[in-house]
Structure 1
Amino acid sequence: MNWEYFTQVSFAIQVHIIVAFIALTLGIIMFVRRKGTGSHKVIGRVFAVMMFLAALSAVFIREINEGRFSWIHIFVPVTFFALFETFYYIRKGNLKGHKRAVKGLFFGALLIPGAFSFMPGRTMWMIFFA
C-alpha cells in the first residue's frame, strides 16, 4: 500500500476513502448479522451517516475532469435517493422496501462506484497497486 500517495491527495478524497471503507465494513457486518436488533439499528444509522458523508465528499472531488463533475458523480444523487428510501420504508414499516433500498445503497452506491475507483490510474489503484 502506498500511504504516501494517500497523504498527498486532497482532503475531500481522504475523507471520501475513509468513510467509504467504514461504510463498507459496516455494510458487510449488517448483512451477516441478525436484523431488527438494537445493534442493527445503531450500525445502520452509522452506515447511513458514512454513506451520506461519502456522497457529500464526492461532490468536492473533481480532479479528473478539469474541475467539473465526471460520470461517476451520478452515484451522488443515487446515494441520496437510496438513503431517503431506506429511512422512508423503515418508518412506514415496509421491511421489504427497506431491505431493497439498503441493498441498492450497498451495491449500487458503494460497491459499484468503489469498483470503478480501482481502475488503473485512479486514486485507489495508485494507493493499493502503485
Structure 2
Amino acid sequence: MPLPSSLPPIIAVHLSLALSAVAIGPWVLWARMGATLRPQLHRALGYAWVTCMLGAALTGLFIRDFRLPNLWGYTPIHLLIPLTLFSLHRAFRYLAAGNITGHRKTMQWLYFWACIVTGMFTLLPGRYLGQLVWGQWLGWI
C-alpha cells in the first residue's frame, strides 16, 4: 500500500492525541501510587490525559478504513470509541461518588485497553500506521 508523503490532518491530530495519552498515562498513575501522594500533579495530568483520550476517541470517528473488514468504513478497532467514552464517564461517576478504588481500576483498565492494546492493533502491517512504521520508516515490509 503506497502511503502519502504527509499524514492527513485528521490522522495527524488523532495520532498526536493518542501518543500524548500513551505518554501521560503512566505519569498520572504514578502520581497516586505509593505512600507519597501528589494530588495536584495527578489532577493536572489527569485532566490532560482525559482531554487527550476524548480527543482521540472523537477524532477516531472520522477515520475510516474501507479495505479491512468494516461496516461503513468502521473496523473492529472503532468499537473502542464508545467503550472509551463509557469508561471515562464511569470513572468520573465513581470519583463523584467517592469510590476512589472504582475510579482507579477503571482508569487503569482504560489505559491498558485504549492505549496499549489499541496501540498494538494500529501497528499491524495492514493498517495505515503499521505500514508507515514497519514499511516506510523502518523498511522491514
Percent of matched pairs sharing the same residue: 29
- Look up the match of 2:13: 15
Q: Is the 8 A contact 1:6 1:14 kept in 2?
A: no
| Greater RCO, CA 8 A, separation 6+ | 1
Structure 2: stretches of 5+ with no match in the other structure = 136-141
* Distance change in 2, residues 1:37/1:81 (3 Å): same
* Distance change in 2, residues 1:24/1:125 (3 Å): same
Structure 1: stretches of 5+ with no match in the other structure = none
Aligned ranges 1:1-130 → 2 under 5 Å:
8-34=6-32, 35=37, 37-64=39-66, 65=70, 68-130=73-135
Q: CA deviation at 1:19?
A: 0.3
Alignment size in residue pairs: 126
Q: TM-score, normalised by structure 2?
A: 0.80
The 1-side partners of 2:113 and 2:39 are apart by 25
The 1-side partners of 2:5 and 2:91 are apart by 34
Q: TM-score, normalised by structure 1?
A: 0.87
**Which ranges of 4 or more aligned residues in structure 1 deviate by more than 6 Å?**
none
Q: CA deviation at 1:20?
A: 0.4
Q: Structure 1 or 2: larger helix share?
A: 1
* Root mean square deviation of aligned Cα: 1.9
